Structure 1
Amino acid sequence: MACLHDHNCEDHDCSSDWSLYKRIDLTKASALNEAIPGSVKSVFKAWEHRLNTSEEHLESNEGDPELLVFIPFTSDVKLKSISIVGGADGTSPSKMRAFINRDGIDFSDAQSMQAIQEWDLAENMQGVLEYQTRYSKFQSVGNITLHFPENFGGDTTKIHYIGLKGEATQLKRDVVATIVYELMPNPSDYNGACLWQGQYSRV
């Protein structure tokens, strides 16, 4: 489901709504089939810069419009909606599919796996459309992979901006302290009894 931004941004700080780009781990963000390696990082920026098409953008290889974008977060997030600003002349993506908390998805995986949600996209040249998630399914998102399988007829697919609306929840789940108990003999206990000694380790 898509909708227009339903508030007047002169009276409301829209940028704060779309601030999850600050939670993206850009060092690990990646894209498959990008014409310029690393260009995917340029699409994550402040909301007020979403229409700046003079900057570097993400573009697929010539003759192959399919893109797969991996977006890891520095903390778990609750994702409410997504906004995509694509290119002109048929190069905007026309469909988007999402997978959450799955590492290492390639095109074969994306085509065979059931997406958690799919959207038909419009040519959103002014960045005023947002696509709502099924919010109950996007509550503990450590990473999201967006699959753009086709566009509006262009030889390549271009994306200038990917906006993510939501809120951060907690630290990454792979940074968890667990308690490991070890059985340690107590030298002062002459009866040979043993005590449980709690010892923390980080996994």
Structure 2
Amino acid sequence: MACVHDHSCEDHDCSSDFSLYKNIDLPRVSALNEAVQGSAKSVFKAWEQRLDISTGLLESNDGDPELIVFIPFTSDVKIKSISIVGGADGTSPAKMRAFINREGIDFSDAQGMQPVQEWDLAENLQGVLEYQTRYSRFQSVGSLTLHFPENFNADTTQIHYIGLKGEATQLKRDVIATIVYEVMPNPSDHKTKAETGGGLSSV
């Protein structure tokens, strides 16, 4: 389901309206089948910059419109909606499929797996559409993988902007990993008396 902004963003700060932009672990963002390596990072920006094409775009290889974008977060998030601004002349993605907390998904995996949710997309050149998630399924999201299997019959797929809205937890991902590590017993922390020199010695 998509909703349309029906307010004036001059009077309403859309950029801070539950935006998860600052919670994305941008250096770790990656994509499969991108024509220019590393270009996926350029589509994540503040909402008011969503139509700024000077920052770059994500484009698939010529003749193959399929794209996969991996989006890790610095803290667990709850995702309420996703916005996609695609290219003109049929290059916008026509479908989107979402997977959560699954790293390393390739095209074979994506085609064979059941997504958490999928959407039929409209050509959204002005960035006024937001696609609502099934919110209860998008809780405790440490990473989001978006699969764009097709476009509107163009040779390549272009994406200028991906926007995510929701809520972030206060617990950072590295803190979570530390907590898990501390909870799990480490054998080196539980040495026997003999190993620590505390055992009985014979004369």
TM-score range, shorter chain: 0.7 to 0.9
Q: CA distance change for structure 1 residues 116 and 179 in 2, over 3 Å: closer, same or farther?
A: closer
Equivalenced residue count is 190
Gaps of 5+ in 1: 193-203
TM-score when normalising by structure 2: 0.87
How far is the alpha carbon of 1:175 from its aligned partner?
A: 3.2
Distance in structure 1 (CA, Å) of the matches to 2:192 and 2:7:
63
SS at match of 2:99: strand
| Higher helix residue share | 2
Among 182, 190, 197, the residue aligned to 1:182 = 190
AA of the residue aligned to 1:64: D
How far is the alpha carbon of 1:184 from its aligned partner?
A: 5.8
Aligned to 1:42: 42
Aligned to 2:32: 32
Distance in structure 2 (CA, Å) of the matches to 1:175 and 1:99:
25
CA RMSD of aligned residues (A): 2.0
Structure 1 residue runs of 4+, over 4 Å off?
none
Aligned to 2:14: 14
After superposition, give the CA deviation of every residue in 1:148-191 in whole Å (9 maximum; x if it has no partner): 00000111000000000011112223232326373765x9x9xx
After superposition, give the CA deviation of every residue in 1:105-159 in whole Å (9 maximum; x if it has no partner): 0000000000000000000000000000000011100000000000001110000
The percent identity for this pair of structures is 73
How far is the alpha carbon of 1:55 from its aligned partner?
A: 2.7
8 A contact 1:23–1:73 mirrored in 2: yes
SS at match of 2:88: coil
Gaps of 5+ in 2: none
8 A contact 1:29–1:72 mirrored in 2: yes
How far is the alpha carbon of 1:7 from its aligned partner?
A: 3.6
Distance in structure 2 (CA, Å) of the matches to 1:92 and 1:159:
7
| Higher strand residue share | 1
State whether structure 2 residue 159 is matched by structure 1 residue 156. Answer: no
